[in-house]
Amino acid sequence: MPVRVLVVDDSVVARKLLSDALASSAEVQVAGTASSGTVALAKIPQLNPDVITLDIEMPGMNGIETLAEIRKMYPRLPVIMFSTLTERGAAITLEALAKGASDYMTKPTNSASLAGAMEQVRSELTAKIVSLAGRGRTGRVPAKPRSPAPRRSVGQRIDILAIGISTGGPNALAEVIPRLPEDLPVPVVVVQHMPPLFTRMLAERLDARSELPVKEAEAGKMLSPGQVWIAPGNYHMTVVRKGTAVVLSLNQEPPENSCRPAVDVLFRSVAQVYGPNVLGVVMTGMGSDGARGAAHIWDAGGEILVQDEASSVVWGMPGAVVEAGKADKICPLAEISTEIVRRVNSSRSQTLGLPPSTAV
């Protein structure tokens, strides 16, 4: 059966655009529309939607206030926020995600043609709706993670932590990054699928809550222990060795897995530069970005952790790694930071007094 969607937006034009775009998909059915938060709350029990799309900026009861009411009455009903690609839009969207929104999508720009806007909504939003509606019904049988012990040798330590994440990412990162200690002896590089402005504001929010400094990545910055770098929206991020140092590099090469930044791009580069001295972490997210990159880290001798299905908003990305048999361990979100610190510190205590093979 198609996924039933309630479209909430005060704009007649936006409601029609969304309704017409979604109507072209056999996987989605527009169960109804609402012009305000108040009307939406009244229609939910009548229409029984599987997913709600919710405009952030509405007169009267705005999107954040409507979301708060939805969460009180329907805590597990997926809600996708619609926001503008502006600094204010980014800030409010991150607030909405922190308050329980499942995902978000930025509205097509004014310069976009109607056909282009329709296609963007049809492809991106339909995928999000179907994925969120299928939460907890992946049909996957998790593969048993292998033990990494036989592959790791004395003198082999973790020198970098690389994280890939998407849908549900801001909240998940807010659980993991602030729990990493200020004396973490490795740099951290993160790809979170987000557009420009959003990634900078995400870095600022995490920085305010964390012992480690968190910044949006800049080309040429040298990697040092205890720093967190988040790939900027619309740029792939890689690491490059320059003499004895390792620096960040940014590019706008074609998207991979329909993403830029892409996790696969980052993971390939850390595997190439650091070889077996990598700890990769794949967390909640739609699609399979990161699976091929995790295989590169794995094949180079590095370790891979993935977030478990129960704590993921969408188990697409971590599930793809598990299906490929490339996960050393599957962790609930609440245990990921502890497992990261344990593995990093354990790998270093074992090599105390030995020269690192690829130290930063």
pLDDT tens-digit map of 39-55: 999 999 999 999 999 99
Order of strands across the sheet with 228-230? 214-216, 228-230, 188-192, 160-165, 278-282, 303-307, 329-331
Please report whether residue 140 resides in a domain.
no
Residues 259, 172 within the same domain: yes
pLDDT tens-digit map of 68-85: 999 999 999 999 999 887
**Residue bearing the bigger pLDDT, 150 or 191:** 191
Q: Measuring CA to CA, how many Å separate 310 from each of 97, 188, 306?
A: 18, 25, 12
Please report whether residue 355 resides in a domain.
no
User: Catalytic: 103?
Assistant: no
Residues 157, 301 within the same domain: yes
- Give me the pLDDT at residue 141, please: 44
Q: Which of these is catalytic: 50, 103, 289, 308? A: 289
Provide the phi-psi class of 153: left if phi over 0, else alpha when psi is between -120 and 50, else beta: beta
Residue 343: band (very low, low, confident or very high) from pLDDT cuts 50, 70, 90: very high
Separation of first and last alpha carbons in the chain: 53
Strands (E), 141-244: 160-165, 188-192, 214-216, 228-230, 236-242
Quick check: 93 pLDDT over 80? yes
Q: Which of 26-30, 81-85, 136-140 has the lowest mean pLDDT?
A: 136-140
Q: How many residues does the chain have?
A: 360
Please report whether residue 144 resides in a domain.
no
Quick check: 56 pLDDT over 80? yes
Residues 238, 327 within the same domain: yes
Residue 123: band (very low, low, confident or very high) from pLDDT cuts 50, 70, 90: confident
**Residue bearing the bigger pLDDT, 186 or 359:** 186
Query: What are the residues whose beta carbons fall under 8 Å from the beta carbon of 141, sequence distance 6 or more?
Result: none
Angle at 15 between CA 9 and CA 18, to 5 degrees: 115
- Give me the pLDDT at residue 138, please: 40
- Give me the pLDDT at residue 239, please: 98
Q: Which of these is catalytic: 10, 102, 193, 269? A: 193
Please report whether residue 305 resides in a domain.
yes
Quick check: 333 pLDDT over 80? yes
pLDDT tens-digit map of 267-321: 999 999 999 999 999 999 999 999 999 999 999 999 999 999 999 999 999 999 9
Residues 303, 333 within the same domain: yes
- Give me the pLDDT at residue 113, please: 67
What is the C-alpha separation between 60 and 232, in angstroms, rounded? 34
User: Catalytic: 210?
Assistant: no
Q: Which of these is catalytic: 166, 311, 312, 347? A: 166
Q: What is the mean pLDDT of the chain?
A: 90
Query: Helices 87-98 and 63-73, interaxial angle, to 10°?
Result: 10
- Give me the pLDDT at residue 348, please: 85
Residues 70, 210 within the same domain: no
Whether the predicted model's global pTM rises above the 0.85 cut: yes
Please report whether residue 356 resides in a domain.
no
Residues 32, 118 within the same domain: yes
Residues 128, 154 within the same domain: no
Alpha-carbon Rg for the chain, nearest whole angstrom, is 21
Residues 191, 312 within the same domain: yes
Q: DSSP letter at 356?
A: P
Residues 22, 118 within the same domain: yes
- Give me the pLDDT at residue 116, please: 75
CATH code of the domain containing 153:
3.40.50.180
Residue 117: band (very low, low, confident or very high) from pLDDT cuts 50, 70, 90: confident
Could you give the percent of the chain with pLDDT greater than 90?
Answer: 79
| Count of domains forming the chain | 2
Residue 151: band (very low, low, confident or very high) from pLDDT cuts 50, 70, 90: low
User: Catalytic: 258?
Assistant: no
Given 76, 104, 133, which residue is the final one in a domain? 133
CATH code of the domain containing 120:
3.40.50.2300
The range of the structural domain enclosing residue 197 comes to 149-349
Mean pLDDT of 328-340: 97
What is the C-alpha separation between 155 and 65, in angstroms, rounded? 54
Residue 136: band (very low, low, confident or very high) from pLDDT cuts 50, 70, 90: very low
- Give me the pLDDT at residue 134, please: 79
